[in-house]
Amino acid sequence: MSFIAVEGKQVELDEDGFLVEPSDWNEAIVSIFAKSEDVEELTEEHWKVINYLREYFKKFGMAPMVRKMCKDTGLTLKQIYELFPTGPAKGACKLAGLPKPTGCV
């Protein structure tokens, strides 16, 4: 557990560096997380995935099935890994402010 300073505010992270409070999420946090998840430059495609994940999470309280994420965003799994090298369950969820998926992932 640790804290990061985002625009003058202390934001709490869990052991894996994910947001403890999903409501703390903002665009500045995305840029900070991007560095630790090997995302060099945030493109429109990154935002498409991030926004999609946030929408899904708001509705269903969890991350979408990986294949559904691909189908709905029109990206292949390979492209998702290119965008988020640490993977859909880790990098993509973390940047979108979702909690870390638990279980066998």
Partner 1 sequence: MKPPLNLAKESDVNAIGFTVTRPEDHKQRTLEKMAELRDSMRSLMVMLETCTKCGNCAQQCHSYLGTGDYNNFPAARAELMRRVYKRYFTTAGKMFGRFNGAEEFDEETLSKWVTYFYQCNECRRCARYCPFGIDTAEVTIAARHILSELGIMPKFMQSIASAMIKSGNNMGISKLACLDCVEFMEEEMQEETGLDIKIPVDKPNSDILYVPSSADFFTNVDTMIGVAKMFHHLGVNWTIPSSVLEAANFGLLFNLDVMREQNQRLNAAALELGASLVVQGECGHGWRAAKMYTEGASGPVPFKIMHVLEYCDEHLHELPLRKLPMKVTLHDPCNYSRGGGIIEQPRRIIRACVEEFVEMTPTGADNFCCGGGSGLLMDEMLEIRMQLGKKKAEQIKALGQIDYLAIPCSICKAQIPTVMKHYGLEGFEKGGVMDLVGKAMIYDKPEEE
Binding-site string for partner 1 from residue 16 to residue 45, where x marks contact by CB under 8 A and - marks none? x-----------------------------
Q: 81 is written with which tokens? A: 């890994």
- For residue 18, list its beta bridge partners: none
**Segment contacting partner 1 (CB under 8 A): 4-12, 29-37, 42-50, 94-102?**
94-102
Say whether residue 5 binds partner 1 (CB under 8 A). no
Eight-class DSSP state of 19: B
For the CA atoms of 64, 20, 88, 36, the dihedral, rounded to the nearest 10 degrees, stands at: 160
> Hey, what are 24's tokens?
């703390």
| Shorter beta-carbon distance to partner 1: residue 16 or 21 | 16
**How many residues in the shown chain lie near partner 1 by CB under 8 A?**
21
Is residue 33 within 8 Å of residue 94, measured between CB atoms? yes
Binding residues for partner 1, per CB under 8 A?
1, 14-16, 60-63, 65-68, 71, 89-90, 100-105
